[in-house]
Copies of this chain bind each other. A is one copy, B any other.
């Protein structure tokens, strides 16, 4: 078990284009219905959202609650284990803004240098 084992495990669990986003939303907004989540993720496909949520349910990160109603109502929220991602997600979010600033500054410097 190498030094990178932890990183690899994390990438397997929450890697990909959508999972960190979905988890971040559930963390900050609490319980959300399928359709709410979908509207907050403007470019995701319905199939993709279902698929990512099911994988995260299987991995114990997300809890799925189905109401026996018509039209259907299904809610999603983070499990306790899912909530343990809080720090990771907060850091990712914070560093992202740092990085945006950094790239913006780099760009400004280039504009100065080539007038």
Question: Which residues in A have some Cβ–Cβ distance to B below 8 Å?
Answer: 3-11, 13, 15, 17, 20-21, 24-25, 28, 59-60, 81, 84-85, 87-89, 91-100, 102-103, 106
Residues from chain B with a CB closer than 8 A to the CB of A81 are 99, 102
Q: Is the CB of A10 within 8 A of B99?
A: yes
Residue with the highest number of chain B CB atoms closer than 10 Å, among A4, A84, A87: A4
Residues from chain B with a CB closer than 8 A to the CB of A3 are 24-25, 28
What DSSP secondary structure best describes chain A's contact surface?
Answer: helix
Shortest beta-carbon distance from A10 to chain B in Å: 4
Residues from chain B with a CB closer than 8 A to the CB of A10 are 20, 92-93, 95-96, 99
Shortest beta-carbon distance from A20 to chain B in Å: 5
Q: Is the CB of A103 within 8 A of B8?
A: no
Q: Is the CB of A5 within 8 A of B96?
A: yes
Q: Is the CB of B28 within 8 A of A17?
A: no
